[in-house]
Structure 1
Amino acid sequence: MTGGGGIPLVRASGDPYAVGRAHGEALAGPLRTFLDDSLCRLNKVLQEPVTWEGLLPSIAAYRAAVAAALPDQAAEVAGLAAGAGITQDEAWLLQLRREIMGYRRIPTAGDCTTYARTGHTVPVLSQTVDLNGNLDDYLGVLEIARTGSPRRSLVLSFGGLLGYLGLNSDGLAVGLNLVLGGDWRPGVPPYLAIRHVLDTAHDVTEGLEILRTLPLASSRTIVLCDRQRAVCVEILGDDLRVIEPDDPARSHVAHTNHFLHPDFAPGDEINVFARNSSVRRLKAATAGLDELPPGAGAEEHFALMAQPPICVPDRGDIRAERTVAAVVMFPDRGELHVRPGDPSLSRTQTFRL
């Protein structure tokens, strides 16, 4: 596999503990710095500050839920802690940061735009990654090869996360969007659920079956794409809804940050300002994708994602979401293309299985 530019590439193989240990050893310095930076910058983005002692009960509850549902991931977090020279609670905080933030009904400019298409075209899943906290300085890529499995994965990660988005060697790519609704509670964070899907699923159908078995902690949309099929999975509480292409001949889906399924739309907690942004970005992504040729390459997809309103600019406020990366994945080729930071200002870095 190749990697370029300044994004760290961590190659990790073996059993779950060994995979985590390799990850921790490779990024020990940055992870320590991140933890020491206002508790992973939580106190730079939250309206009310948190303390380490105050976080421990929540960390314990999520840790128990993940260990019960996904013991391999619990072992990997233990390895991450050992490799990085941090405590296990600190390693769990790295996994749980977004869950601890919860969701706030305040104006926001964006929180990821994702699309995927298959059919009579090159299968592709592309998305912007819109986050607060200026997390592009903790961006990394993991190459995972687990003992006992022929499947390998490329995973985009931020600040010690075991998973965020990525693809595997079976030809499955997974992306995500934030949607707001329901009760967020101790369970499997969607980021870890995505990593589990990449570790264990052969295709979209298997990915859907796996997601239905997990006690997911919070609302999200997860986008799955293989060589023949692309779907959006909206998650609200204990329920899932699958959105497939309206026109099988076009075979594409797109999602931003408001619920699209009519069953979930009444439970949407997005505020009006964020919804307006979400609707604009969805329209722009859908229209732009319709104009891209079937064989469009990574640079053509990046050109679309680098345009406003899909690309959310830096407004100089660490509390505000902005585009901290853009990704183009070709699952049948095993290619992960990344532009760190604002994609209109950065160059493409390519990672291949």
Structure 2
Amino acid sequence: MTIPYVPMAGTAYQRGVRHGQVRGAALRAFLDDGLTRIEHLLSEPVDRTTLADTLARYDAAIGRAVPEFAEEIRGLADGAGLTRAEAVLLQARREILGYRRIPTAGDCTTYARCGADPVMAQTVDLNGDLDDQIAVLDTGHALVLSFGGLLGYLGLNRAGLAVGLNLVLGGQWGPGLPPYLAIRHLLDVCDSVPDAVKRLRDLPLASSRSITLCDRDQAGFVEVLDGATRWHASPEPVHTNHFLDPDLAERDEINVFARNSSLRRYDACRSALAGLPAGAAAEEHFALLSRPPICVPDNGDIRRERTVAAVVAFPRRGELHVRPGDPSRSATEVFRLAATDPGSGVGSGA
């Protein structure tokens, strides 16, 4: 498959309109497919009245945290022909699903290396068969991997910062800034790992996450749980889906089967990374990400997480290398930050 590329420029509203225009047909089909496939994943029907109220509270929380996102969501809705509530649902979909109603078996393996040519790499493991919803957004300042109309997910920026993520489970989830959007905000405004760590501590995140950060000088991860943040610096951080901070680990709510998967992937990734030479090429990183147990195969159950993409980001180069779907079966597409504005056409997959 060819990954859709969305060059975005102008005001926040104009960026949203462009996103919606390019992805509108796919997003409308996604919403029509069991309400972004939520109804295929839950065991009980969605209460539309309760959902409308919840989405209104997410909308307000997002606008308070990052006012520009309220405008970008408005533009996304207008460009794609959606209601505002539908555009907000695309941003808060994972929080709406929650974690107590959806048994989680695995969700991403991430690692990074700082240095002269820093790299951040990860698998993206999601349920809902979301590999058909992938896109790359080019804001001119950042390259952002997106799924299903999200304003953000993971990526890199022109300042040389890369940001990835892992699902970790715990605490109360509720209206706030979805971590995917928080990552986009970090890419929009931060120029270093310390800056991103500081800003992340002030964001009212809607749900628990581990966020991996990498630039030339530093790398590490921030685990977030109920407003508490724990920063762990490392020249080669590895993270899967269990809390690594000793204090937060006591509140981990990952189920035993998912924890076993997380531990296997964590150990396998650390071992493989130790054997990967400094300065390894993107294809060497993809070889690591494509092997089991790090790559999670499709077992045919839409409710189970599987690897729907793999990413290798070189932030100093401004390069985002992506393999859509199962990375052991797909070809690499390369996206580069444009030398000028994103409307120039430079930056599309090569």
In the superposition, the TM-score normalised over structure 2's length comes to: 0.94
Letter in 2 for 1:24: G
1:307 aligns with one of 282, 291, 296: 291
- Counterpart CA distance in 1 for 2:48 and 2:137 is 28
Equivalent residue number for residue 296 of structure 1: 280
Shift of 1:53: 2.7
- Counterpart CA distance in 1 for 2:73 and 2:66 is 11
Equivalent residue number for residue 136 of structure 2: 141
1:174 aligns with one of 143, 153, 163: 163
1:16 aligns with one of 12, 17, 26: 12
Q: How does 1:91-240 map to 2 (within 5 A)?
A: 91-104=87-100, 108-119=104-115, 122-145=117-140, 152-240=141-229
Shift of 1:105: 7.2
Q: Would you say the 8 A contact 2:104–2:254 is kept in 1?
A: no
C-alpha offsets along residues 19-57 of structure 1, whole Å, 9 cap, x if unaligned? 000000111100110111100000001122214333101
Letter in 2 for 1:264: L
C-alpha offsets along residues 270-310 of structure 1, whole Å, 9 cap, x if unaligned? 01111110001001111111101101011000000100000
- Counterpart CA distance in 1 for 2:101 and 2:76 is 33
1:68 aligns with one of 31, 46, 64: 64
- Counterpart CA distance in 2 for 1:103 and 1:347 is 32
- Counterpart CA distance in 2 for 1:107 and 1:133 is 13
- Counterpart CA distance in 2 for 1:105 and 1:62 is 19
Q: Would you say the 8 A contact 2:112–2:121 is kept in 1?
A: yes
Shift in CA distance, 183/109, structure 1 to aligned 2, threshold 3 Å: closer
2:303 aligns with one of 295, 303, 319: 319
Equivalent residue number for residue 30 of structure 2: 34
Confirm whether residue 86 of structure 1 aligns to residue 82 of structure 2: yes
Shift in CA distance, 106/184, structure 1 to aligned 2, threshold 3 Å: closer
Letter in 1 for 2:121: S
- Counterpart CA distance in 1 for 2:226 and 2:49 is 28
Equivalent residue number for residue 347 of structure 2: none
Q: Would you say the 8 A contact 2:105–2:258 is kept in 1?
A: yes
Letter in 1 for 2:211: I
Shift of 1:333: 0.4
Letter in 1 for 2:130: L
Q: Would you say the 8 A contact 2:98–2:173 is kept in 1?
A: yes
Shift of 1:122: 2.8
Where in structure 1 are there 5+ consecutive unaligned residues? Answer: 146-151, 246-250
Q: Would you say the 8 A contact 1:110–1:278 is kept in 2?
A: yes
Provide runs of 4+ in structure 1 moved above 2 Å. 51-54, 104-109
Q: Would you say the 8 A contact 2:125–2:296 is kept in 1?
A: yes
C-alpha offsets along residues 166-197 of structure 1, whole Å, 9 cap, x if unaligned? 00010000000000001111110000100000
Shift in CA distance, 240/352, structure 1 to aligned 2, threshold 3 Å: same
Letter in 1 for 2:125: D
SS state of the match for residue 247, structure 2? coil
- Counterpart CA distance in 2 for 1:71 and 1:292 is 42
- CA-based RMSD of the aligned residues comes to 1.1
Shift of 1:106: 6.4
- Counterpart CA distance in 2 for 1:263 and 1:73 is 33
SS state of the match for residue 333, structure 1? coil
Shift of 1:104: 2.9
Matched length? 337
Identity %: 62
Q: Would you say the 8 A contact 2:212–2:219 is kept in 1?
A: yes
Q: Would you say the 8 A contact 2:145–2:153 is kept in 1?
A: yes
Letter in 2 for 1:164: Y
C-alpha offsets along residues 301-346 of structure 1, whole Å, 9 cap, x if unaligned? 0000100000000010000000000000001101100000000000
Equivalent residue number for residue 248 of structure 1: none
SS state of the match for residue 264, structure 1? helix
Letter in 2 for 1:136: D
Q: Would you say the 8 A contact 1:42–1:49 is kept in 2?
A: no
Letter in 1 for 2:266: L
In the superposition, the TM-score normalised over structure 1's length comes to: 0.94
SS state of the match for residue 213, structure 1? coil
Confirm whether residue 57 of structure 1 aligns to residue 88 of structure 2: no
Q: Would you say the 8 A contact 1:105–1:270 is kept in 2?
A: no
